[in-house]
A and B are shown apart, each in its own frame.
Chain A
Amino acid sequence: MVNDPQGLVVKDALHALGYPEVAGARVGKFISLELAGPDLDAVRARVDEMCRRLLCNGVIEEYRFELRPVPGA
């Protein structure tokens, strides 16, 4: 697993605040996209491609995503 110094610092800080049960912490990114498409499968395929081509660097990162309807759309 790729060393994550930010996660280690967060873990130490949580320990200092009295949460010794935290065995590990990793810091990542949250990206929110708004988009439209003909159907869920098509949107899913497009988003997956976006993750592979730009949003995620597979050498050091993993990704997962979920699709939700935009309220009012």
Chain B
Amino acid sequence: MSARFGVAVFPGTWSDRDCVHAVGLTGAEAVPLWHADRDLKGCEVVILPGGFAYGDYLRAGAIARFAPLMEAVREHAQAGGLVLGICNGFQILCEAGMLPGALLRNSSLQFRCQPTWLRVETTATPFLASCQPGELLQLPVSHGEGRFYADPKTLARLNDEGRVAFRYTDQGGGLSAEANPNGSLENIAGILNEQGNVMGMMPHPERACEQLLGSDHGLQLFCSAIQHLPLLTG
């Protein structure tokens, strides 16, 4: 049975077709999900892709979190279903309170579009269960507002509970300010919710699924999710 991935489309989403393409490479089925529909169409995994949902007006993700589709996404997550927020999708999950913290203007004040190296910090999520702890992945970032911030208490909790998914590193896996494209606290590039079924990340795995594009490291996130789909009750 092939897994079903829903790919959310808000007005201003730009990475949905890349996500559909990436999912297709795994052999799974990708289904576009319209923001105004409160319907996940039976999808087991929901991807909130990158872009500028609702123009990023007010704050990135601030308006999108109130879309009818997001009610269904929240219920899906509460039932243990998988949700992956990429870039703008990560911003939406933070605004929705489904992940802690917030994503702020890059410390450089520049939009950064470049390859980055990421260190896998935990495998306690279906999205990374197929990775090795400490494994290095090369994925591109493409954002102007990706500086992860959380208050010190929240940050300590994320660390203590092993909920930091990725950190930006150099090619050797070392943490440094130079390897951090946006000034994120502690080089954080992605985080998990408490249960590990919701992951938010600024880098784009869907844009690194073929050697032709310089890296296929992103593909294993999608494959891992398929191999480790949770059994949902109800």
Does B bind A?
yes
- The residues of A with any CB-CB pair to B shorter than 8 Å are 2-3, 5-6, 9, 54-55, 57, 59-60
> Are B183 and A3 touching (Cβ within 8 A)?
yes
Q: Which of B101, B109, B183 contacts A59 (CB 8 A)?
A: B101
Query: Which A residues are in CB contact (< 8 Å) with B100?
Result: 59
Alpha-carbon distance between A57 and B149 when the two chains are bound, in angstroms: 12
The 10 nearest A-B residue pairs measured at CB? A59-B102, A60-B102, A5-B107, A5-B109, A57-B59, A57-B102, A2-B149, A60-B149, A5-B105, A60-B104
Query: Which A residues are in CB contact (< 8 Å) with B151?
Result: 59
Cβ-based interface call for B232 (8 A): no
Q: Which of B62, B102, B109 contacts A6 (CB 8 A)?
A: B109
A-B contact number at CB 8 A: 34
Given contacts A3-B183, A60-B149, contact A54 B102 (CB under 8 A): no
Alpha-carbon distance between A5 and B94 when the two chains are bound, in angstroms: 21
Nearest residue (CB) in B for A58 is B102
Nearest residue (CB) in B for A55 is B58
Given contacts A3-B107, A3-B183, contact A59 B58 (CB under 8 A): no
Question: How far, in Å, is A61 (CB) from chain B's closest CB?
Answer: 8
Given contacts A2-B149, A3-B183, contact A57 B62 (CB under 8 A): yes
Question: How far, in Å, is B59 (CB) from chain A's closest CB?
Answer: 6
Question: How far, in Å, is A53 (CB) from chain B's closest CB?
Answer: 9
Alpha-carbon distance between A3 and B147 when the two chains are bound, in angstroms: 10
13 additional contacts, CB 8 Å, given A3-B104, A3-B107, A6-B109? A3-B147, A3-B149, A3-B183, A5-B105, A5-B109, A6-B105, A55-B58, A57-B59, A57-B62, A59-B102, A59-B150, A59-B151, A60-B104
